[in-house]
Amino acid sequence: MLKIPLYKLDERQDQYDIIERQTQWGIDLIEKYVKFVKDRTEIEQAYAKQLRTLVKKYSPKRVSKEDQELKFSQYLAFINILNELNDYAGQREVIAENLMQNIFAQLLKYLHENKQERKMHLLEGRKAQHDLEVSFKQLDNAKRRFERDCREAEKAMQNAERVDNDINTTKADVEKAKQQANLRNHMVEESKNEYASQLQKFNKDQNEFYFAEMPHIFNTLQEMDEKRTRKLCEAYKTFADTERQVMPIIGKCLDGMTKAAESVNENGDSQVLIEAYKSGFERPGEIEFEDYSQMINRTSSENSLGSLKSESKVDQRTISKSKTKRWPFGKKNKLIVSEDFSHLPPEQRRKKLQQKIDDLNKELQKQVDQSEALDKMKDVYQRNPQMGDPNSLEPRITETNQQIDRLRQEVQKYETWLTDAEGKLVSRNDSCVQYITHSNRSPSMNNNGSHDKESPDTTYSDDSGQEPLPQPPSLSEFDDFEDDLVHPIGSSTALYPFDGNSEGTIAMAEGEVLHLIEDDKGDGWTRVRRSDGEEGYVPTSYVKITLSKQ
């Protein structure tokens, strides 16, 4: 405990003021720390708010199972990192909340109590000082009165002796002077006794003040200040523990971010992309060499005028394929998106049809559940008429049943298309074999002019599930030719094989590069030319066009 020395009366006030300033400094320190914690709490709250705003900014607006991005591990990892960051922001909010409750609120409450306790102890000290000062004043007054009475008594004695020695004074004057001297002596005795009493009382009060009251008050202030110091020390520790308590959870958030990063699978993402956009087309077979030189070896019967006519026909066909004008297809033949997704490659068409069937089945199940609920409600109304009129549900029941019938028809229609698409996809290899066989005919058949020409009314369609192409032109529909070859405006690369059996079209193999003569004008056909000068039209959707830079 605080050792209180004996101070002089004029020194005790200075020591008391030191104690008062020290305790006030401690209170000021707590107030400063409380303000510091409040500012730190506001920083944590603002940081957490900014983190949540950041997460909201980069999070997907609507998460749907049909979202293609969710199928990639790298995008899912980013979403998981955003979720972990959102949890991290929550931990910063926990820190702010704990700082506010465990430090700010408690210290603020203790600060108020500490001020009240300090004020009470200081009032007790001031009261003790005041009481001692009052006791000292009473002692001083008794001392002064005793001193005054002594002087007055001494004067009275001197006056009585002077009167007694004077022969001219009467006996009455002598008696009066002696009585006055005796009275003064009596007053001296009373003031002496009072002074002694006051001195004894003051010594007692002073002893009580310095050895009991002030030590008690100083020790109480010391205990209060030490308690305040311990409270502040605990607040310092709580400040650090508040952060330390959430560190394991923050560590889990960071571990989750690391785990999300490690979950990225580049090969898996590539497979997802392949599965999502593979066309289902088979690779084309090799094209066999067709020997047209055998046309030179003709029989003698072919050297006649008929031979010239035959050569003229061959030349005319070559010219018609190389120097034809663009066939003016109408916009009514333009490729459009069809309901059965036949405009898509086989694999994409199958996936779209399957997805459409799944959506229709979900909607159908919802309507069936609604119909069952309406039937139950109608049954309840029939049993309890006070709850409602059963006939009021008939319009909704009829509408629901109509929706169910419509959805079932839709499902049946799309299932038929799906069966057709899957059948075509399975038989793709057989189609490819037939295509290769058709392309590898014997030279004798080609040279003898025994090509099977398709009818001009026949439109091209493969087994890919694409929509039938517009009507290609026939030789008879080109009435004039250009004298000079048109300069190419770019190049086109074949994405899929094309037979080119119809008039006005040319065959191409997958990957073959052709000169671009005329771009698609909205009719679905593109005019191309081979290096040997052969020209014709190919489907625009079958080629990748690259225009030359001007």
- Give the count of beta carbons closer than 10 Å to the beta carbon of residue 197: 13
- Put simply, whether the predicted model's pTM sits higher than 0.75 gets the answer no
- For the chain of 550 residues, list the mean pLDDT of each consecutive stretch of 10: 38 71 93 95 96 93 73 91 95 95 93 92 90 92 91 88 82 86 89 92 91 90 92 94 93 94 92 78 75 61 45 44 40 56 75 87 91 86 82 88 90 87 60 40 36 37 46 43 65 89 85 88 84 87 82
> Given the DSSP bridges, would you call strands 490-494 and 513-518 parallel, antiparallel or unpaired?
antiparallel
- Predicted pLDDT at 472: 53
Residue ranges of domains in the chain, CATH in brackets: 15-269 (1.20.1270.60), 346-423 (1.10.287), 490-547 (2.30.30.40)
- Predicted pLDDT at 17: 85
- Predicted pLDDT at 485: 62
Whether the CB-CB separation of 528 and 535 falls below 8 Å is answered with: yes
Place of tokens 């004029």: 10
Alpha helices in 263-345 (DSSP H): 266-277, 305-322
Number of separate helices (H) and strands (E) present in the chain: 11, 5
- Predicted pLDDT at 37: 95
- Predicted pLDDT at 246: 92
- Predicted pLDDT at 383: 83
- Predicted pLDDT at 467: 46
Distances (CA, A) of 289 to 9, 130, 293, 440: 131, 129, 11, 8
- Predicted pLDDT at 214: 87
- Predicted pLDDT at 272: 85
- Predicted pLDDT at 3: 38
Which residue(s) pair with 518 in the sheet?
A: 527
DSSP letters spanning 428-482: HHHHHHHHHHHHT--HHHHHTT---PPPTTPPP--TT-PPPPPPPPPGGG-----
Quote the tokens at residue 25: 């400094």
- Predicted pLDDT at 291: 73
3-state secondary structure of 263: coil
